[in-house]
Amino acid sequence: MAKLLRAAVLGPPGSGKGTICKRIAQSFGLQYLSSGHFLREGIAANTEAGMLAKTYIDRGMLVPDQVMTRLMLPKLEQLRNHSWLLDGFPRTLTQAQALNSLFQMDLVISLNIPYETLKDRLSDRWVHPASGRVYNMGFNPPRVQGKDDITGEPLIQHDDDKPEALMARLRHYKELAKPVIDLYKAQGVLHSFSGTETDRIWPYINSLLSTKMHTQPKHIAPLLDRSMNTLANAALLLSHIHMRYRSTNGSPFFSGPTPKTRLAV
Ligand code: G5P
Ligand code: MG
C-alpha cells in the first residue's frame, strides 16, 4: 500500500491557505479538510457547536480549542486509512498537541505573507454570508459584481477585515502560531514559503508535494504517458523535470529540509 501523507497548511487570515489547498487537492487528489468550512457548515445548519462558533467568528476571535478538537479529530480518525491535507487546523499549540497524540504529521507548509499584502487582499475580500464563499475583487471576482456566483445573493464585507481589526488579528495569529511552527520545525516536517503572490509560490509547493508523494501531479502524468513512446521524448521530459527540481532548490521562496528524493519519474 502507498504510504499515507498527513499534511497541513498554516498561515494567517488571507494568506492563501484555501487557494493552495484547493490546488493541492486538484493536482494530487488529496482529501482536504478546512476547519473554517466545517465551522461555517455548522453555522448554516444551526448546530449547537455552530452557534457557539459563530459568537467567536463574528468577533474575529479563534473558536476555543476544545470545540475545534472535538470537531476535527473525529473526522480525521474516520480517515485513518487515507492521506489528507488540513487547511486552518491546527492553529494553537493545544490543537497541535491533540493532533500529535493521534497522528504523526509528514508535511507542514507555512505561508509567510507580508502584512501589507494581507491587508490589501482582505480589504478587497467579499463574502457570501450564508455559504462562506469568498471572493477577491482582483484575484477571483464574482461573475456579477456584488453577487454570489451560485445564489445571486448580495456579498458583504466583514468588519474584522478592516485595517485596525486586521492588525490585531494578525498579531494574535503570530503569537499563537509561533509555538505550533516551532513544534513542527523540531519534528523536521516544516516547510516555509514567503511571497506576495500565490501563483509564484505555487510551483515550489507543487514540486515539494511531487517529491513527498513519489507520484506525478495530474498535469505531468499525461505528458509522461505520451513520452514513453520514444526514448527521445522521455529524455526531454526528464530534462524538463530536472530543471524544475533545480529551480526549486535555488528558490528564494523555499526554506525547509532539502528534499532527499528528486521528483519521482
Ligand atoms: P478560515 O475560514 O480558516 P481565515 O481567516 O484563517 O479563515 P481565510 O480568509 O480563509 O483565512 P485563506 O484561506 O488563508 O484565508 O486564504 P484564501 O481564502 O485562499 O485567500 C484569501 C483571499 O485572497 C481570497 O479572496 C483569495 O482569492 C485571495 N488571494 C489568494 N491568493 C492571492 C494572490 O496571490 N493575489 C491576490 N490579489 N489575491 C489572492 O477561518 C474562519 C474563522 O473560523 C475560526 C476562526 O474564528 C477564523 O477566523 N477558525 C478557528 N478557530 C480556532 N481554531 C481553528 N483551527 C480554526 N479554524 C477556523
Ligand atoms: Mg480559508
Decide: helix, strand or coil at residue 156.
strand
Report d(CA 8, CA 86) in Å as an integer: 4
Report d(CA 59, CA 43) in Å as an integer: 15
The best mutation among 67, 71, 128, 134 to test binding of ligand 1, ranked by most ligand atoms within 8 Å of the C-beta, falls on: 134
The rounded radius of gyration (Å) of the Cα atoms in the chain is: 20
Binding site listing for GTP: 14-19, 125, 134-135, 198
Beta strands in 4-144 (DSSP E): 6-10, 31-34, 84-87, 107-112, 125-128, 133-136
- CB count, 10 Å around CB of 235? 11
Residues with CB under 5 Å of ion ligand 2 are: 17-18
* Among protein residues, the one whose CA lies closest to atom 15 of ligand 1: 14
Residue whose cell numbers read 476555543: 64
Burial class (CB in 10 A: 0-12, 13-18, 19+), 116: exposed
Report d(CA 18, CA 85) in Å as an integer: 11
Beta-bridge partner residues of 173? none
Per-residue pLDDT band for 265 (boundaries 50, 70, 90) equals very low
Q: Is 195 left (phi over 0), alpha (psi -120 to 50) or beta?
A: left
Residues with CB under 6 A from ligand 1: 11, 13-19, 35-36, 39, 56-57, 61-63, 68, 88-89, 91, 95, 121, 125, 134, 136, 138-140, 197-199
Mean per-residue pLDDT, 213-233? 44
Please give the distance, rounded to the nearest whole angstrom, from the Cα atom of residue 46 to the centre of ligand 1. 22
Per-residue pLDDT band for 120 (boundaries 50, 70, 90) equals confident
Report d(CA 32, CA 2) in Å as an integer: 18
Q: Is the dihedral of CA 242, 247, 248, 250 positive or negative?
A: positive
Nearest atom (ligand 1) to Cα of 39: 43
Please give the distance, rounded to the nearest whole angstrom, from the Cα atom of residue 17 to the centre of ligand 2. 6
Amino acid 160: pLDDT? 67
The domain defined by 6-215 carries CATH number 3.40.50.300 = yes
Residue 221 has pLDDT above 80, yes or no: no
Give the best-scoring range by mean pLDDT among 63-72, 113-122, 250-259.
63-72
The best mutation among 15, 17, 159 to test binding of ligand 1, ranked by most ligand atoms within 8 Å of the C-beta, falls on: 17
Residue 51 has pLDDT above 70, yes or no: yes
Per-residue pLDDT band for 2 (boundaries 50, 70, 90) equals low
* Among protein residues, the one whose CA lies closest to atom 17 of ligand 1: 16
Compute φ and ψ for 183, nearest 5 degrees: -60, -50
